[in-house]
Amino acid sequence: MTPEGIHRRSFVAAGVGTALTAGAVLTAPAASAAPPRAAVLEFTDRWTNATGFAELLRRAGFAVTALDLSRPATAQGVDLIAFGSFTNNDSRYTTYVAAQAPSLRDFAAGGGVVLDLAQSDQYGAAVPYLPSTLAAVRTDSDYDTVHPTAADHPLVAALPVVSGRVFTGRASGIRVSWETVTSWRSLRVLLACAATGFPPALLEGAHGAGRFLVGSLTVDKCFDAAGTAIQPAAAVRDSVTFFTALAGYVARVRAGTAPAVTPTPMPAQAPAGPLVGHVDETGARIWARPGLDAATFPAWRCVVARASGGWSTTVDTTVSTANDNTLLFDVPGLRAATAYTFTITPRSAAPGFTPLTGSLTTAPPAGAPARVTMGLGSCAPSTPDAVWTRIVDEGCDSFVLLGDTPYVDSGDLAVARAKHRTFLSQPQIARMIASMPVWGTWDDHDFGGNDTDGTLAGKRNTRTAFVDYRANASFGHGADGARLTRRTDGEAVYTSFRRGPVEVFLLDPRWFSRTGPSFADPSRPTCLGTVQWEWLRTALRASTATFKAIASGMIWDDKGNSESDDWATYQHEKDAILDLVAEEGIPGCFLLSGDIHCSRALNYGPRVGYDLWQFIVSPLHDRTIPSLNVPSPHLVASAVEPHTFLKLVADTTVSPATLTATWINREGRRLFEVRRTATELGHPA
């Protein structure tokens, strides 16, 4: 919650900053031909020495005066009363809004606009002067992102949007939304700190002929006390753009032509999704956390329609409170290799709720010639990032999360769930997961923490959170050892899926590691555990896919550092897997992994009767570890490159069938590529 090098707590005292020098008090509303007039209360921020509200309003075309603290709001003679960010940390603000609450309400009722960016730096601080029909409560949560929620609103429409966000490119010392609103009543959300619309960064409420605007933005903090810009020029332009839009909005409110306010329902919990999970030839799993109160809106409906028209189906379900108030729709009766759209809505009316929408394409028929393009990646950011947009733009029709997706680093259930929500709510990944099937396993950081193993005390909590926020076909096994398809307590999270010519076996090398003796060598610790090993052995033997990816978050050889979470630690079980492939003559196998914050392609030679490849892809985020790109006689290519994913194309429409692995960064640059035929991977010529 604390920005780098700066922290605040509650200070309410005179003299925190210097108020604007009082000017002549305007006593009449502005004429229609005159510029809108604003009375401003702002203080230089003692932590960042930042100010600028009055100057920005002037640049936006307002005639500006200081708010006269001796006069009621209705006697200021202005169209806009504006409270700058963090004015609440001065007693002059708190005294004025308490004493003048009735006049502030009368000012709005008469057609004025009140803009309050005061923020809280407190927990549970309500905006005290709002009429009883409206409410907004602030809290001490810090955000670096703001997203347009009401894109057509006059205060939002003009703002430049970059990667789904507005007010980008601002100086790192002053967050764009320092604090936020945690609850509200009868207000419309215009801007939010996440793509889901929660928590809000700017809300609008109607009162009589006027408006209240309540926000958590620091877009007024652009200059130091001497008037020198401390924000980049582009950030100052963004602020001027916003306040110029505000000038037009104020004029429309005065004229009675401002758009009507349709309140946004407050979610009972932070929303996330929708997410398209497991999709096969005939069915799909679709997940969402709608955020509305589960008691009020328990029943939900998903309508799935063929994109080409002529067919649709409806699936109903209820909110699962046991799974953190999420939904899971199992949709049957679909056609192979067919595009569909879907819409999720509550069964009862929820005014202001925006339906959750998305799309998916079912898997090609097994055995039929097909070409699939799968994306894979590990070590992902929980902030907005264009790498997800690049994945979509590259034509990926599905995606596999290979672990550290997200970074949880806690065994606390509430923390783990919150980290998953934040991850899935980022705008670019939110668009991706709503448009293609996504599967996942975990690695150490989403399992619990760096280099953790199965002895971790909090692993049942992190498993619960993982199951709550994924829609795999299965989640490890139950107490009886049977494959677990329900989102209930169980053992591990391993799963598999087939998409046309590719079958992916997503292993869980964390849950059982070091919890007992190995099935391969009782004198050594296990990694997979006996039940998972039997599942993998049976599934590999049964697979008819041309290409078979054996995927693990941790890499299949020695990391080359002091940590033990790699398959070199469990060489005896790795050998058992590879011996199985060789002895059973299972063609088309290759290894996948992530974790090490660099990308590599390794060829181990004919270890399984044909050349065995490992494809390592990491990281999706911006933090590389060059020291882990260690020398190896098997290394064919490597790159220490941030924001990287693997594009895997399996094509059985050509002869021989081909598997092409391309490592791509978020700018679209090809880092390196490996192309192999089915013949080279053990299939007969």
How do the domains of the chain map onto residue ranges?
Answer: 37-255, 267-362, 378-386+402-641
Worst-scoring range by mean pLDDT, 20-24, 497-501, 604-608?
20-24
Instruction: Give the separation between CA 659 and CA 678, rounded to whole angstroms.
Output: 7
Q: Is the pLDDT of residue 511 over 90?
A: yes
pLDDT tens for 269-279 read: 778 999 999 99
**Arithmetic mean of pLDDT, 172-191:** 84
Higher pLDDT residue, 292 or 39? 39
Higher pLDDT residue, 337 or 6? 337
Instruction: Specify the amino acid at residue 62.
Output: F
pLDDT tens for 437-451 read: 999 999 999 999 999
Handedness of CA 416, 422, 424, 428 (dihedral sign): negative
Q: Look up residue 665 and give its two tokens.
A: 């960064």
Alpha carbon distances (Å) from 519 to 343, 534, 573, 681:
47, 10, 8, 28
Q: Is the pLDDT of residue 30 over 70?
A: no
Instruction: Give the separation between CA 661 and CA 648, rounded to whole angstroms.
Output: 5
User: Of 439, 437, 272, 470, which Cα lies nearest the Cα of 359?
Assistant: 437
Backbone dihedral angles phi then psi of residue 653, each to the nearest 5 degrees:
-85, -5
Q: Is the pLDDT of residue 85 over 70?
A: yes
Q: Is the pLDDT of residue 221 over 60?
A: yes
Q: Is the pLDDT of residue 462 over 90?
A: yes
Higher pLDDT residue, 91 or 394? 394
Q: Note the pLDDT of residue 269.
A: 74
Q: What CATH number has the domain spanning 378-386+402-641?
A: 3.60.21.70
Q: Look up residue 447 and give its two tokens.
A: 């399992």
pLDDT band for position 18 (cuts 50, 70, 90): very low
Alpha carbon distances (Å) from 552 to 69, 142, 482:
64, 35, 21
Q: Is the pLDDT of residue 625 over 70?
A: yes
Determine if residue 117 is left, alpha or beta; phi over 0 gives left, psi from -120 to 50 gives alpha, anything else beta. Answer: alpha
Q: What is the mean pLDDT of the chain?
A: 91
pLDDT band for position 120 (cuts 50, 70, 90): low
Q: Note the pLDDT of residue 122.
A: 65
Instruction: Specify the amino acid at residue 401.
Output: L
Q: Note the pLDDT of residue 42.
A: 93
**Arithmetic mean of pLDDT, 253-260:** 95
Q: Is the pLDDT of residue 201 over 60?
A: yes
Worst-scoring range by mean pLDDT, 173-182, 333-342, 493-502, 557-566?
173-182
Instruction: Give the separation between CA 192 and CA 166, rounded to whole angstroms.
Output: 10
Q: Is the pLDDT of residue 593 over 70?
A: yes
For residues 238-248, one letter each, b for 16 or more C-beta atoms within 10 angstroms of the residue's C-beta and e for the rest, the string is: bbbbbbbbbbb
Q: Is the pLDDT of residue 17 over 60?
A: no
Question: Is-cis flag, bond preceding 199, omega within 30?
Answer: yes
**Arithmetic mean of pLDDT, 191-198:** 82
Q: Is the pLDDT of residue 480 over 80?
A: yes
- Is residue 286 within 8 A of residue 471, CB to CB? The reply is yes
**Arithmetic mean of pLDDT, 283-300:** 94
Q: Note the pLDDT of residue 79.
A: 97
**CATH class of segment(s) 267-362:** mainly beta
**pTM of the prediction?**
0.71
**Arithmetic mean of pLDDT, 544-555:** 98
**Arithmetic mean of pLDDT, 318-326:** 96
Q: Is the pLDDT of residue 33 over 80?
A: no
Residues near 492 by Cβ (< 8 Å), separated by ≥ 6? 463, 475, 476, 477, 508, 510, 511, 512, 529, 532
pLDDT band for position 426 (cuts 50, 70, 90): confident
Q: Is the pLDDT of residue 31 over 60?
A: no
Instruction: Give the separation between CA 82 and CA 118, rounded to whole angstroms.
Output: 9
Q: Is the pLDDT of residue 20 over 80?
A: no
With a pLDDT cut of 70, the percent of the chain lying above it is 94
**CATH class of segment(s) 37-255:** alpha beta
**Arithmetic mean of pLDDT, 109-127:** 84
